[in-house]
Amino acid sequence: MVRRLEGPLQHLPLTNAFLEAHADALKGCRRTKGSLHFTPEAPLPEALVERLVLDRLADLEGGGDKPT
């Protein structure tokens, strides 16, 4: 899910463990315990989004942590 209230776009829900596992790829991105923040002016690269989605699906299918 992507949502925008005021400020940056947010991709959520993610787990902190998932974000930590992808820390190298997410350098320079603002994140919180359960979300990844970005702006329309500085979107996430398409290849990174695809990788994150596929990895998160695999995590969920494998019984990974539920989002926090």
51 domain residue, yes or no: yes
User: Is the Cβ–Cβ distance between 12 and 35 less than 8 Å?
Assistant: yes
Query: Would the pLDDT of 60 be above 90?
Result: no
- Percent of the chain residues topping a pLDDT of 70: 75
57 domain residue, yes or no: yes
55 domain residue, yes or no: yes
- This prediction has a pTM of 0.69
pLDDT band at 68 (very low <50, low <70, confident <90, very high): very low
Q: What is the pLDDT of residues 20-41, one digit of tens each?
A: 999 999 998 888 888 888 888 8
Task: Give me the pLDDT at residue 32, please.
Answer: 85
Give dist(CA 10, CA 54) in Å, integer. Answer: 18
28 domain residue, yes or no: yes
3 domain residue, yes or no: no
